[in-house]
Structure 1
Amino acid sequence: MKRITLFIWGFIVLIAFCFNLLGLMHLIPPLITMPLLFFSIFGFLATWNSRNQFKGFYQKRMWQ
């Protein structure tokens, strides 16, 4: 499931990068394309970073 999510975010980053190139050519306002590229890269990295996190050891209680 995580690989599919990473693939989708990677595709969104690619589309946002193409829009950003159009923004740099002043065909689309760059004020719209820059935050779009930023948030797509941020979402990709946030998804990629949360893959293998250590959740801690299971601690057994002595007295219950």
Structure 2
Amino acid sequence: MNRIRLIIGILFILISYYFFILSLMQLFPIWISAPLLFATLVFTLAPLATKKRFKGFN
């Protein structure tokens, strides 16, 4: 499940990066593409940054 989420996340990062490049060429609004790129990066990389923690015996 985590591997599929990572692959889908990388795909979404590539798509949003493409839209960001289009917005730098002023072909797409940057106020849509910049938060989209940020959100896809956060939602893709956040599960990788979480650590497995010991929560006790109970």
Q: TM-score per shorter chain, which class? A: 0.7 to 0.9
Mapped partners of 1:46, 1:37: distance in 2: 14
Return the index of the structure with the highest Cα Rg: 1
Q: How does the TM-score come out when normalised to structure 1?
A: 0.78
Corresponding residue number in structure 2 for 1:55? 53
Identity %: 34
Higher helix share goes to which structure?
A: 2
Q: Which runs of 5+ in 1 are unaligned?
A: none
Cα RMSD, aligned residues only: 1.6
Aligned residues: 58
Q: How does the TM-score come out when normalised to structure 2?
A: 0.86
Which structure 1 residue ranges, 4+ long, deviate > 3 Å from structure 2? none
